[in-house]
């Protein structure tokens, strides 16, 4: 180990190839840009998490423990806008995707490295504008910016927040564009489509959604801004507009956006399950095509957000049926991951714990989604805490678990160092327990009829709300621990070596941290993905 640590410091790799703040801010290396994104979204996660903490503290008392109702509205809007647009959407694509897409296909970089750097700057510009909006003055429309509330009634910073989201959208578009071109045109010799790791299929499907969905929400926000600035009636019924049109346009993006958040996590889980079960994935092509199927179907289901908004009942029936279709590819993934575990030699290191957590929580979130896709039950559950519980099971239980699992899995590759596995397992367990304690009561609250977005509630809901707030404090501890030991490991962690997990994939065949151009020589691929057990020629 001692000699290895020296090796890490003497060998030239992407982290020590050059120094200084300028070498980071002007880098076009996809790995460094990934780290810029990682730092940025961790910051946004802390901001959004702070808002969530304040919300949960406030809701301990039925009459609201701390804030004015107006302040409460601004807090949950801040939480939603920051977490959705500045943490969840960029999380896995911009951090792990940026780092891994070129490495997994055996390329030196993304197809457009300068565009990649530009997209980080665009992201930060949007993020800073949104931070300004939510902190100085605030926004109180919720992250959905529903009209005519957002255009005619509220006096908060809707314009600047919407503009910030608009700008950040282009970052998402450019990242998606870069990935699609890279995956199409830059695969190493022998890396056929069906030899690609499933993470890449997931990133590809995600990119398609980013490319086709984001422009629609961009133009929608432009129309909102026009209506708000010039007081004309595009969406405001008082002047001839149609608020339902806004909801159609908004959800045309924002439902698929849910899959921007969850598909990358599914890709991560496919990598983790195979590595820690040391088995081929069960039904490779089914898992691959289920990602594409989810991306396609995601564009056809947006009306399930509008069952009670005055959309035609026939449209409602069709959207309901189409929404059920999403369950099929999602279930294919869950069953195939589970089947992969069968007779595998499973080890429960920290990334695997997150992957297992993902499968359980995503299944819960997915199944409760069926309740909401059913017209009759949705009439009861719409705009209650049941919905809040459902999408947090998908976005936090799913997307964030996948992100943390991925960070723990590729951390040794990114930094060249190992973190303490015991602490990591403990944190994973705390996150799982804290998460369930926070959000399971919300299903019950919603089922009992507590509406979302209210600053006060009836006293009979207090027990469940206190449970939820208690769970949130446990969850916060679970998120704080990795922050500490991961930062610690960057300096003091033991040398990881190129492949600490004995994993398959091109990214593990190059040193950790990788050299600037990723590979000493462009690799030639001669075997399928996840060829575990076939011939364990070289491990570690």
Partner 1 sequence: MARRRPTLADPHASSALAHQFEDLGQQHESASLGMWIFLATEVMFFGGLFAGYTIYRNMYTAGFVAGSHELNVTIGAINTAVLICSSLTMALAVRAAQLGKRIPLVTLLIATILLGLAFVIIKLTLEWRHDYLEGLVPGLNFTFAGPNARSMELFFCFYFVMTGVHALHMVVGVGVLFWLVVQAWKGRFGPERFNFVEGAGLYWHFVDIIWIFLFPLLYLIGGRY
Distance from C-alpha of 230 to C-alpha of 223, rounded to nearest angstrom: 10
Distance from C-alpha of 397 to C-alpha of 436, rounded to nearest angstrom: 9
Q: Which of 5, 13, 61, 108 binds partner 1 (CB under 8 A)?
A: 108
Between 140 and 227, whose beta carbon lies closer to partner 1? 227
Site string for Cu ion, 281-300 (x = CB under 5 A): --------------------
Give yes or no for residue 531 binding partner 1 (CB under 8 A): no
Give yes or no for residue 520 binding partner 1 (CB under 8 A): yes
Between 254 and 349, whose beta carbon lies closer to partner 1? 254
Let me know if 345 is exposed, middle or buried by CB neighbors in 10 A (0-12, 13-18, 19+).
Answer: exposed
Q: Which of 456, 463, 522, 534 binds partner 1 (CB under 8 A)?
A: 522
Give the tokens for residue 501.
């997990």
Residue 181 interacting partner from partner 1, Cu ion, none (CB closer than 5 to 8 Å by kind): partner 1
**Cα distances (Å, whole numbers) of residue 501 to 3, 80, 286, 350, 414:** 21, 36, 26, 11, 14
Between 259 and 432, whose beta carbon lies closer to Cu ion? 259
Interacting stretch for Cu ion, rule CB under 5 A, among 96-104, 248-256, 286-294, 517-525?
A: 248-256
Give yes or no for residue 88 binding partner 1 (CB under 8 A): no
308-312 long-range contacts (CB < 8 A, ≥24 apart) are: 308/378, 308/379, 308/382, 308/383, 309/244, 309/247, 310/244, 311/244
Give yes or no for residue 417 binding Cu ion (CB under 5 A): no
Residue 232 interacting partner from Cu ion, partner 1, none (CB closer than 5 to 8 Å by kind): partner 1
Residue facing Cu ion at closest CB distance = 255
Which helix (H) or strand (E) covers residue 246, if one does?
helix 243-277
Buried b (16+ CB within 10 A) or exposed e, 180-199: bebbeebbbeebeeebbbbb
* Spatial CA neighbour of 287 closest among 350, 335, 231, 235: 335
CA count, 13 A, side-chain hemisphere, 157: 20
Longest dimension (CA), the chain: 75
Give the tokens for residue 108.
């030196």
Give the tokens for residue 330.
């999602």
Residue 255 interacting partner from partner 1, Cu ion, none (CB closer than 5 to 8 Å by kind): Cu ion
- Count of residues interacting with partner 1 (CB under 8 A): 49
Site string for partner 1, 115-134 (x = CB under 8 A): x-------------------
Supply the minimum distance, in Å, between the C-beta of residue 88 and partner 1: 21
Residue 245 interacting partner from partner 1, Cu ion, none (CB closer than 5 to 8 Å by kind): partner 1
Span 209-268, contacts to partner 1 by CB under 8 A: 211-216, 218-220, 222-223, 226, 229-234, 239-242, 245, 249, 252
Give yes or no for residue 494 binding partner 1 (CB under 8 A): no
**Cα distances (Å, whole numbers) of residue 211 to 143, 183, 376:** 21, 15, 34
Interacting stretch for Cu ion, rule CB under 5 A, among 157-165, 249-257, 400-408, 505-513?
A: 249-257
Between 195 and 255, whose beta carbon lies closer to Cu ion? 255
Give yes or no for residue 255 binding Cu ion (CB under 5 A): yes
Contact 297, 325 (CB under 8 A): yes
Q: Which residues bind partner 1 (CB under 8 A)?
A: 102, 107-113, 115, 173, 177-178, 180-182, 184-186, 189, 211-216, 218-220, 222-223, 226, 229-234, 239-242, 245, 249, 252, 517, 519-522
Q: Which residues bind Cu ion (CB under 5 A)?
A: 255
């Amino acid at each position: 180990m001692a000699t290895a640590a020296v090796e890490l410091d003497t060998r030239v790799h992407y982290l020590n190839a050059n120094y200084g703040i300028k070498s980071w801010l002007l880098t076009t290396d996809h790995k460094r840009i990934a780290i810029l994104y990682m730092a940025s979204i961790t910051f946004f996660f802390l901001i959004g998490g702070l808002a969530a903490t304040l919300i949960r503290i406030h809701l301990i008392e039925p009459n609201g423990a701390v804030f004015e109702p107006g302040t409460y509205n601004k807090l949950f809007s801040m939480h939603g806008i920051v977490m959705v647009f500045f943490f969840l959407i960029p999380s896995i694509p911009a951090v792990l995707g940026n780092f891994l897409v070129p490495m997994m296909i055996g390329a030196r970089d993304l197809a457009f490295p300068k565009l990649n750097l530009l997209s980080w700057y665009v992201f930060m510009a949007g993020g800073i504008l949104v931070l300004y909006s939510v902190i100085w003055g605030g926004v109180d429309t919720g992250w959905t910016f529903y009209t005519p509330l957002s255009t005619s009634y509220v006096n908060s910073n809707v314009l600047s927040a919407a503009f910030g989201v608009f700008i950040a959208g282009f970052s998402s578009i450019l990242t998606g564009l870069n990935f699609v071109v890279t995956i199409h045109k830059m695969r190493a010799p022998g890396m056929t489509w069906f030899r690609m790791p499933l993470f890449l299929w997931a990133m590809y499907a995600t990119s398609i959604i980013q490319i086709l969905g984001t422009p629609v929400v961009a133009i929608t926000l432009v129309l909102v801004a026009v209506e708000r600035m010039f007081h004309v009636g595009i969406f405001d019924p008082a002047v001839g507009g149609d608020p339902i049109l806004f909801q159609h346009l908004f959800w045309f993006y924002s439902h698929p956006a849910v899959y921007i958040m969850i598909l990358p996590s599914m890709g991560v889980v496919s990598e983790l399950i195979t590595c820690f079960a040391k088995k081929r994935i069960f039904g490779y092509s089914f898992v691959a095509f289920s990602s594409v199927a989810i991306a396609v179907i995601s564009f056809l289901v947006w009306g399930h957000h509008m069952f009670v908004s005055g959309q035609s009942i026939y449209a409602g029936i069709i959207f309901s049926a189409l929404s059920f279709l999403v369950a099929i590819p999602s279930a294919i993934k869950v069953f195939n991951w589970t089947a992969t575990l069968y007779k595998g030699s499973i080890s429960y290191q920290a990334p695997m714990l997150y992957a297992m957590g993902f499968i359980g929580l995503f299944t819960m979130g997915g199944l409760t989604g069926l309740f909401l896709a059913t017209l009759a039950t949705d009439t009861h559950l719409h705009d209650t805490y049941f919905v809040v519980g459902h999408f947090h099971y998908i976005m936090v239980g799913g997307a964030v678990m996948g992100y943390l699992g991925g960070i723990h899995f590729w951390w040794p590759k990114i930094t060249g160092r190992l973190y303490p596995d015991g602490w990591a397992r403990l944190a994973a367990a705390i996150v799982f327990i804290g998460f369930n304690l926070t959000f399971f009561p919300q299903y019950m609250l919603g089922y009992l009829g507590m509406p979302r977005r209210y600053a006060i509630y009836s006293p009979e809901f207090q027990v469940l709300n206190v449970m939820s707030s208690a769970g949130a404090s446990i969850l916060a501890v679970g998120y704080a621990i990795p922050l500490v030991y991961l930062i610690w490991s960057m300096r003091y962690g033991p040398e990881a070596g190129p492949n600490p997990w004995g994993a398959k994939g091109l990214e593990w065949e190059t040193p950790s941290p990788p050299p600037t151009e990723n590979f000493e020589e462009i690799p030639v691929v001669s075997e399928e993905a996840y060829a575990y057990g076939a011939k364990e020629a070289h491990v570690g």
